[in-house]
Structure 1
Amino acid sequence: MAVRFPELKNDLIIRVAKGEKVDKTPSWVMRQAGRYLPEYHQVKGSRNFFETCQDPEIASEITIQPIDRYPGLIDAAIIFSDILVIPQALGLPVDIIDKQGPHFPTPLQTPEDIDVLLTKQDPDVRVELDWAFKAITMTRHKLEGRVPLFGFCGAPWTLMGYMIDGGGSKTYRISKEWLYKWTEDSHRLLKMITKVCINFLAEQVIAGAQILQVFESNAGELGPQEFREFSLPYLREIAVGVKSRIRQRLTEEKIEFNAADHDVPLVVFARGAWYALDDLCDSGYDVVSLDHLYDPAEAVKVNNGRVVLQGNLDPCVIYGSDETITRKVEYMVKGFGGGKQNYIANLGHGTQMWMKPEKLGFFLQEVKRVSSQ
């Protein structure tokens, strides 16, 4: 079976992720398709968040909105979805409550509750998350090769936190209690989630994703020792497992794929884990994404050319004046070495609903201007 997609016209971010030199910095931003855009609200209408994600046509349209709004300034699209689809695939319901965020009606309370997931601890993601793959394939065609398409998933520790604490938390007290009180069971749950992450990411590539990012959004809730025990091993397992699983799936299905379509770069984003950069640079990923807590020049020293770095402007800089944005972009791009190798520009976290689209556009414009000098 042959899988044919439109030829990629802008491969800047792919080339940089693989270590090539370029003449300007590629850029995209986390949550670039979302609530800060008026066109997002028009398309979403009265649907709730997951209804929007699970409609491939709508999700595809939202994914492409920032590419249309900022032509020539954004070098990748990222599929409109959410990290919490993996708990859903495992059979744990989750809602997104307006102005509150994620809510799990029946969070895991004790290790015995893991048994609730037993019937789906090895779910067929092709069935459980079929809509996600349809959205990716549709978007890949609709992009017509203008930019590459990101797929993504949440990382095991981050997903575990939501599944146990029942949503976002300032302390993640309950899930961290598990780590210290039920350590073996915590690893059992993390291993279960890791396997689903690997399968989900691999299937996204089969569906058409050209680069993947793993979001360890709650890494900063762990100390250095805990990160090395409960996060890093599973991030490494994903880095190795995804590429192995892709090769396995291609062989199983006798799918004819161009090498560039399945040898995809992998990005890891461990938010708040400033102490772990050295470990992350040796974790098997092509790109390490940084939040705004890192000084660019210091991060470059720690990295020492091992991987590509991505980031890391404080999102709140977007609320500043044009002069402030310019100054901060210049500091960032210069700190990461000038932007012509081993660097992808991004924010240190995602866009926020109060941002003005034109200010984000100015940031993207300044990245191109500064890095082209």
Structure 2
Amino acid sequence: MAKNGPIKSAPFPELKNDTFIRAAQGKDTEYTPVWCMRQAGRYLPEFRETRAAQDFFATCRSPETCCELTLQPLRRFPLDAAIIFSDILVVPQALGMEVVMVPGKGPTFPEPLKEVEDLLKLRQKVDVVAELGYVFQAITLTRHKLEGKVPLIGFSGAPWTLMSYMIEGGGSNTMAKAKAWLYRHPEASCRLLTLLADVIVDYLVEQVAAGAQALQLFESHAGHLGPEQFAEFALPFIRSIGKQVKRKLQERGLPAVPMIIFAKDAHYALEDLAQSGYEVVGLDWTIHPQKARHLLGKEITLQGNLDPCALYAPKEKIGELVKKMLEGFGSQRYIANLGHGLYPDMNPDHVGAFVDAVHTHSCHLNKCA
């Protein structure tokens, strides 16, 4: 296998289950497709076993391991999509920042951005094939190993979310240091956000070139911004990424793939997000399905939004909650998911109950044969 860059390989297997893709494109589906954010994760004993002997980011840099982790939930559950195992913080690493995974603490930047001058330490031009080729190799390998069973989703963190990690040095309850930059250094903040957006565009385009069949942009820290800051420091870059990715895919003769925007806690911006050029808007669990559908209409596909903690409930209750969610969103232009990622202590059987309930109840709504 080449050290960097995409794998040169035979044509990909034909896609057998395109339900997720059709739903994302706004086409009719026989049932509601379902996948879970963080479906390849520590709640699976086989995931923990595979990861046991390896550093987290070393795992991310191993195409074979990423492929194996991506496939594990597909072996257990009848999911309608796979999402490549990776991490949003590989983008700051590509910019030259060190990120380590500290047990009990999470991702940590030993030298976060503190002053505006620190921006000069970042790579101003990133060759994503050279820096992130391992992700593209993992995508190509996984696409073949899937054998067309379901589509493969690629992803990236959005600029504001990545910027907040780079300044905070890790997770934060307030994002006060990062938000201080927005107030004190708005021009420098926009320079950083633009730099990130440029890298993300190239990163997502290369993921499609490597075999990704859909893309999701995670603005996980949207809830730390108010409407005005989101409109100035998040939304323009989200829009630009979607527009530029579509343009570059067309210029390179690559497939036009559906794109999903997931901005957690950005209730105030849902209408703007629905008009931001993405085929799908992902929703967290803090909005009623009926309200979201009424607000955004039937011309866009929605994704979400069961509270992840609902999976701690008995299986019968999970089924009831899924039925209510499906009835709220309607049977078409909808992809079932959680309102955020799966947690490490969740029971895999309850994840299975969620997936099965989606298929059972959506089939009833759609009057499957």
TM superposition score normalised by structure 1: 0.94
**2:265 corresponding residue in structure 1:** 272
**1:302 corresponding residue in structure 2:** 295
Distance (Å, rounded) in 2 between the aligned partners of 1:312 and 1:121: 37
Does the Cα contact within 8 Å between 1:25 and 1:345 map onto a contact in 2? yes
**2:13 corresponding residue in structure 1:** 6
Distance (Å, rounded) in 1 between the aligned partners of 2:284 and 2:314: 21
Shift of 1:238: 0.5
**2:222 corresponding residue in structure 1:** 219
Distance (Å, rounded) in 2 between the aligned partners of 1:91 and 1:126: 15
Shift of 1:343: 0.3
Q: Which segment is superposed worse, 238-247 or 133-142?
A: 238-247
Shift of 1:48: 1.2
Does the Cα contact within 8 Å between 2:301 and 2:334 map onto a contact in 1? yes
Please give the residue correspondences for 1:234-245 in structure 2 after superposition, counting only pairs within 5 Å: 234-245=237-248
Shift of 1:247: 2.7
**1:249 corresponding residue in structure 2:** 252
Asked if 1:328 is matched to 2:331, the reply is: no
Any idea what SS the aligned residue of 1:81 has?
A: coil
Distance (Å, rounded) in 2 between the aligned partners of 1:358 and 1:58: 24
**1:135 corresponding residue in structure 2:** 138
Q: Name which of 15, 28, 53 aligns with 2:60.
A: 53
Q: Name which of 59, 70, 84 aligns with 1:63.
A: 70
Any idea what SS the aligned residue of 2:16 has?
A: coil
Q: Name which of 94, 101, 118 aligns with 1:96.
A: 101
Shift of 1:43: 1.2
**1:145 corresponding residue in structure 2:** 148
Indicate the RMSD between aligned Cα atoms, in angstroms. 1.1
Distance (Å, rounded) in 2 between the aligned partners of 1:5 and 1:292: 36
Does the Cα contact within 8 Å between 2:284 and 2:338 map onto a contact in 1? yes
Distance (Å, rounded) in 1 between the aligned partners of 2:124 and 2:251: 20
Distance (Å, rounded) in 2 between the aligned partners of 1:295 and 1:226: 24
Distance (Å, rounded) in 2 between the aligned partners of 1:306 and 1:110: 44
TM superposition score normalised by structure 2: 0.95
**1:263 corresponding residue in structure 2:** 256
Cα deviation 1:36-79 (Å, max 9, x = unaligned): 00000111121011111111001100000011111xx2000000
Does the Cα contact within 8 Å between 2:261 and 2:280 map onto a contact in 1? yes
Tell me the number of residue pairs that the alignment of Structure 1 and Structure 2 aligns: 357
**2:367 corresponding residue in structure 1:** none
Asked if 1:159 is matched to 2:159, the reply is: no
Any idea what SS the aligned residue of 2:252 has?
A: helix
**1:210 corresponding residue in structure 2:** 213
Cα deviation 1:107-152 (Å, max 9, x = unaligned): 00011100111xx222000000010000000000000000000000
Shift of 1:307: 1.2
Shift of 1:244: 1.4
Q: Which segment is superposed worse, 36-45 or 142-151?
A: 36-45
Distance (Å, rounded) in 2 between the aligned partners of 1:174 and 1:294: 28
Shift of 1:3: 6.3
Distance (Å, rounded) in 1 between the aligned partners of 2:13 and 2:304: 29
Distance (Å, rounded) in 2 between the aligned partners of 1:306 and 1:122: 38
Shift of 1:237: 0.3
Any idea what SS the aligned residue of 2:53 has?
A: coil
**1:350 corresponding residue in structure 2:** 341
Does the Cα contact within 8 Å between 1:281 and 1:306 map onto a contact in 2? no
Distance (Å, rounded) in 1 between the aligned partners of 2:10 and 2:209: 9
Does the Cα contact within 8 Å between 1:291 and 1:313 map onto a contact in 2? yes
Does the Cα contact within 8 Å between 2:26 and 2:299 map onto a contact in 1? no
Shift of 1:327: 1.4
Letter in 1 for 2:209: I
Any idea what SS the aligned residue of 1:129 has?
A: helix
Any idea what SS the aligned residue of 1:372 has?
A: helix
Asked if 1:110 is matched to 2:110, the reply is: no
Distance (Å, rounded) in 1 between the aligned partners of 2:24 and 2:341: 20
**2:26 corresponding residue in structure 1:** 19
Does the Cα contact within 8 Å between 2:250 and 2:256 map onto a contact in 1? no
Asked if 1:35 is matched to 2:42, the reply is: yes
Does the Cα contact within 8 Å between 1:13 and 1:344 map onto a contact in 2? yes
Distance (Å, rounded) in 2 between the aligned partners of 1:266 and 1:246: 12
Letter in 2 for 1:183: P
Any idea what SS the aligned residue of 2:170 has?
A: coil
Distance (Å, rounded) in 2 between the aligned partners of 1:39 and 1:325: 24
Distance (Å, rounded) in 2 between the aligned partners of 1:134 and 1:249: 19
Does the Cα contact within 8 Å between 1:315 and 1:350 map onto a contact in 2? yes
Structure 1, unmatched stretches of 5+, are 251-256
Distance (Å, rounded) in 2 between the aligned partners of 1:196 and 1:234: 12
Cα deviation 1:228-264 (Å, max 9, x = unaligned): 11100000001101111223334xxxxxx6xxxx110
Distance (Å, rounded) in 2 between the aligned partners of 1:130 and 1:23: 37
Shift of 1:275: 1.0
Letter in 1 for 2:59: T
